[in-house]
Amino acid sequence: MNYFTVTAGDGRSSARCGVLETGHGIIETPCFMPVGTKATVKGLTPRQLHEEVGAQIILANTYHLFLQPGEQLVGELGGLHAFMGWDGPILTDSGGFQVFSLASLRTLEEEGVTFQSPVDGSRHLLTPERAIEIQEVLGADVIMAFDECTPYPVDYETARRSLRMTARWAERCKTARRRTDNLLFGIVQGSMYPELRRESAELTREIGFDGYALGGLSVGEEKSLMYEMIDMTAPLLPREQPRYLMGVGKPEDIVAAVAAGVDMFDCVLPTRNARNGMYFTWQGPLVIKQARYRTDSLPIDEQCSCYTCQNFSRAYLRHLFRSREILSSVLATIHNLYFYHRLMEKIRMQIKNGTFADFMKNFISNYDIS
């Protein structure tokens, strides 16, 4: 099955455009996936995701849905697409990242991870087999292998042991797979050690997956170190398959990772920051609670065609935020996701035009990252 086609290259970097085919539609890459943790992108209806944002694919979190309402319920109701009323593609993570974030509440063994539910205190064992089973019951179009997201900082030996276990788990995930209508992605770990990233990439490729993710990044390391890891790891992954940088990131991170040949991104920043009153603009972030916007009749971003910018002033949006109105979160989420999706659209256009390298230079210098 030829589910992924590289349709254009940049010529001057490793950036590329592609088309990813899934059971629920086609995705143009490079793409951004809004995070819909508990089967909802917080505050937006699926209609708004389609019409106001232009979302191609969304991400849902296996861990959260396993705990509440439970994958069986979602399965009985026809799977995640029917459950949440989203007919486009969905990617689910494996739950590993969230389980490992539980720290003291979990114990790790070769078999898997035992953890206690923060919802009701019940104990659960999450294994590679179980992670795949849950994701297949949820019925996502792209599912992820169950990995250990190696903590940072970490010593070389621990990082090596971790990536090797992730590789053994990856093999078990592949074996555990039952459905044929999804894509299974493997995850490359190795912390910030180039040699270990290389080993992890090789082990994961040897098992063979439909796509490859870069995991364990944006976990507290310096930005330059993250870029270094992306730059060295991406070329180790098959050119003819999609590459996914998990949990990244800021607009400038996405542009940099696209240059390294990454195709897919997800991040809570545009949605979470929206709820905190931070708007992304082409001039950098705008914090709406600031007093200087009190009487400001301009839209958030004069260059933006989103519903929020076409209809509301900074003064009104500041009023909504200060009044803790639900609509503040809704309008900011629409704007931020629109911004991220137009960024990806621009990136794709620049790659197709062969002007991505210049675009990147301009973007990095004009976009106020502060």
What residue spans of the chain are helical by DSSP H? 46-48, 62-67, 71-76, 80-84, 96-101, 128-138, 156-176, 194-207, 223-233, 251-259, 269-275, 307-311, 314-322, 326-352, 356-366
Q: By CB under 8 A, how many residues form the interface with a second copy?
A: 38
* Contact status: 152 vs a second copy (CB under 8 A): no
* Contact status: 315 vs a second copy (CB under 8 A): yes
User: Does the annotation count 266 as an active-site position?
Assistant: yes
Are β-strands 183-188 and 142-144 bridged in parallel, bridged antiparallel, or unpaired? parallel
Residue 21 forms beta bridges with which residues? 26
Minimum separation from the CB atom of position 313 to a second copy (A): 6
* Contact status: 207 vs a second copy (CB under 8 A): no
The window from 26-34, 134-142, 180-188, 308-316 that contacts a second copy (CB under 8 A) reads 308-316
Q: Which is nearer to a second copy, 168 or 322 (CB)?
A: 322
Strand order in the sheet with 243-245: 31-33, 264-266, 243-245, 211-214, 183-188, 142-144, 90-92, 58-60
Distance CA 233, CA 237 (A): 7
**Near a second copy by CB under 8 A: residue from 114, 116, 117, 313:** 313
Distance CA 3, CA 178 (A): 18
Q: Which of 25, 24, 4, 26 is CA-nearest to residue 16?
A: 4
Cα dist. 117→131, 214, 314, 319, 366 in Å? 16, 27, 41, 38, 45
* Contact status: 358 vs a second copy (CB under 8 A): no
* Contact status: 311 vs a second copy (CB under 8 A): yes
* Contact status: 125 vs a second copy (CB under 8 A): no
User: Does the annotation count 253 as an active-site position?
Assistant: no
* Contact status: 302 vs a second copy (CB under 8 A): no
Q: Which is nearer to a second copy, 189 or 271 (CB)?
A: 271
What x-and-dash track marks residues 68-107 binding a second copy by CB under 8 A?
A: xx---x--xxx----xxx----------------------
* Contact status: 330 vs a second copy (CB under 8 A): yes
**Near a second copy by CB under 8 A: residue from 295, 305, 353, 366:** 295
* Contact status: 201 vs a second copy (CB under 8 A): no
Minimum separation from the CB atom of position 65 to a second copy (A): 9
Which of 141, 253, 263, 266 is the catalytic position? 266
252-270 per-residue burial string, b: 16 or more CB within 10 A, e: under 16? bbbbbbbbbbbbbbbbebb
Distance CA 215, CA 206 (A): 17
**Type of residue numbered 279:** Y
Minimum separation from the CB atom of position 44 to a second copy (A): 7
* Contact status: 44 vs a second copy (CB under 8 A): yes
The window from 101-109, 172-180, 232-240, 327-335 that contacts a second copy (CB under 8 A) reads 327-335
**Near a second copy by CB under 8 A: residue from 32, 66, 244, 316:** 316
* Contact status: 307 vs a second copy (CB under 8 A): yes
State how far Cα 286 lies from the chain centre: 23
Q: Which of 230, 293, 294 is CA-nearest to residue 263?
A: 230
3-state secondary structure of 123: strand
* Contact status: 322 vs a second copy (CB under 8 A): yes
What is 215-245 written as a DSSP string? -S-SSS--HHHHHHHHHHHGGGS-TTS-EEE
* Contact status: 114 vs a second copy (CB under 8 A): no
**Near a second copy by CB under 8 A: residue from 13, 40, 116, 117:** 40
Name the DSSP class of 298. Answer: S
3-state secondary structure of 144: strand
Q: Which residues are catalytic?
A: 93, 266
| Residues within the interface to a second copy (CB under 8 A) | 38-40, 42-47, 68-69, 73, 76-78, 83-85, 294-295, 297, 307, 311-313, 315-316, 318-320, 322-323, 325-327, 329-331
